[in-house]
């Protein structure tokens, strides 16, 4: 199977392909995009690629030049404050540096790309395994963290692009306990960054999230909050064997879904990027992007995640205590599914008999193939 580097949208990387999907993973940062799912004659590309991708004079430095789709981060977050003398870059060295190709192979109807990266600031290694299965419009990802000692946060940085219509995507989630908005230092108007949500606010429903002006935001659909950059972190119910996040694009006739074990990835971060950054390389043009990021982390970084916080006090971990002789496997699966007319927001997700079954609030049902053994 093809293993040589290909340059796509300005970034060298590796291609992986099966009969219903193909994708590219960049060498710099391990970003996964474009991702193309094929269903009949239709090709669906849900993951965001910024306007500066491939441009020579965008002002994007380091991994920002490669930013796209999904990537794995360790430690996840801005990491502006050192943790016990460690100074980690934003989202960690594996997000900022190069990955090495280990293998590309195909067997039993599945194609797998294997990459590895050193964690750098603190000794350790992350092994990335990306798998496509014939007939499945799903990407199965497994990241194995090894050789690591001490507290560490981690997570995915998956970002979707939405149609131009306001609230064109309806968001459905499995049960969450509560959420919290970004801290006061997330963006600064003096630097050209603008937020609309009240900082450090804890809330119980996505339908009622406090804004700084005293009103309430409904975050159950997107795009919304035009002209602003916002974050909210949601605590997944740890009692669930599997947790899920979905976006229904009813007018387009398909939905996106993501599954995880909340014992591995405890929270979901919404990064709502809708024109709130007016500095380079964003320049007010990064709009209608929504990060739906499955993490065991806080967006501020490892220092905040490793200390007591509102999530850890509620029994929701924001980091893990690693031992060098005990590797940790972190699994996630994301894909798309065609939907019938009348399908609105997802209210239930069930895995059975090699399929994923998604039921809408309206009662409409959609199904596609899914390897339920992946989470065994």
Would you place residue 40 in the very low, low, confident or very high pLDDT band (cuts 50, 70, 90)?
confident
For the chain, what is the mean pLDDT? 97
What pTM did the predictor assign? 0.97
As a whole number of angstroms, the distance between CA 320 and CA 295 comes to 11
As a whole number of angstroms, the distance between CA 269 and CA 77 comes to 11
Domain ranges of the chain: 11-316+331-375
Is the per-residue pLDDT at 310 higher than 60? yes
- pLDDT digits over 319-357, tens only? 999 998 899 999 999 999 999 999 999 999 999 999 999
CB 3 within 8 A of CB 118: no
Q: Does domain 11-316+331-375 have CATH number 3.40.190.10?
A: no
Is the per-residue pLDDT at 170 higher than 80? yes
Over range 33-42, report the average pLDDT. 93
Q: What is the dihedral angle through the alpha carbons of 234, 238, 239, 240, rounded to the nearest 10 degrees?
A: 70
Is the per-residue pLDDT at 1 higher than 80? no
- pLDDT digits over 99-136, tens only? 999 999 999 999 999 999 999 999 999 999 999 999 99
Would you place residue 179 in the very low, low, confident or very high pLDDT band (cuts 50, 70, 90)?
very high
**For residue 45, what are the contacts with CB-CB under 8 A and spacing of at least 6?**
34, 35, 36, 37
Which secondary-structure segment (H or E) carries 223?
none
List, as one string, the DSSP characters of 158-179: -EEE--SSTT-EEEEES-EEEE
- pLDDT digits over 5-14, tens only? 999 999 999 9
- 100 vs 25, 29, 94, 348, CA distance in Å? 11, 11, 11, 39
State residue 267's pLDDT score: 99
């Amino acid at each position: 199977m093809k293993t040589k580097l290909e340059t796509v949208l300005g970034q060298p990387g590796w291609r992986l392909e099966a009969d219903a999907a193909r994708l590219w993973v960049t060498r710099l940062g391990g970003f996964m995009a474009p991702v193309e799912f094929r269903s009949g004659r239709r090709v669906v590309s849900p993951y965001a690629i910024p306007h500066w991708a491939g441009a020579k004079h965008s002002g994007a430095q380091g991994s920002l030049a490669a930013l796209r789709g999904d990537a794995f981060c360790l430690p996840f977050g801005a990491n502006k404050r050192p943790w016990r003398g460690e100074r980690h870059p934003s989202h960690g060295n594996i997000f900022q540096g190069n990955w090495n190709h280990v293998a590309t192979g195909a067997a039993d109807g599945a194609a797998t790309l294997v990459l590895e990266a050193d964690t750098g600031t603190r000794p350790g290694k992350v092994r990335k395994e990306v798998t496509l299965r014939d007939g499945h419009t799903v990407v199965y990802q497994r990241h194995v963290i090894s050789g690591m000692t001490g507290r560490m946060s981690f997570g995915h940085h998956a970002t979707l692009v939405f149609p131009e219509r306001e609230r064109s995507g309806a968001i459905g989630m499995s049960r969450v306990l509560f959420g919290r908005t970004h801290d006061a230092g997330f963006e600064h108007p003096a630097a050209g960054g603008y937020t609309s949500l009240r900082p450090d606010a804890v809330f119980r429903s996505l339908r009622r999230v406090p804004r700084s002006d005293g009103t309430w935001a409904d975050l159950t659909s997107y795009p919304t909050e035009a002209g602003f950059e916002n974050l909210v972190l949601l605590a997944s119910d740890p009692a669930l064997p599997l947790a899920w996040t979905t976006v229904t694009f009813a007018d387009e006739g398909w939905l996106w879904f993501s599954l995880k074990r909340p014992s591995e990835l405890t929270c979901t971060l919404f990064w709502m990027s809708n024109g709130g950054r007016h500095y380079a390389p964003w320049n007010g043009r990064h709009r209608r992007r929504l990060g739906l990021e499955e993490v065991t982390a806080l967006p501020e970084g490892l220092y905040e995640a490793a200390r007591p916080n509102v999530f850890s006090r509620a029994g929701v971990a924001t980091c893990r205590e690693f031992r060098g002789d005990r590797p940790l496997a972190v699994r996630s699966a994301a894909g798309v599914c065609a939907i019938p007319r009348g399908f609105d927001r997802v209210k239930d997700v069930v895995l059975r008999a090699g399929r994923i079954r998604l039921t809408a609030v309206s009662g409409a049902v959609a199904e596609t193939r899914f390897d339920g053994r992946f989470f065994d």
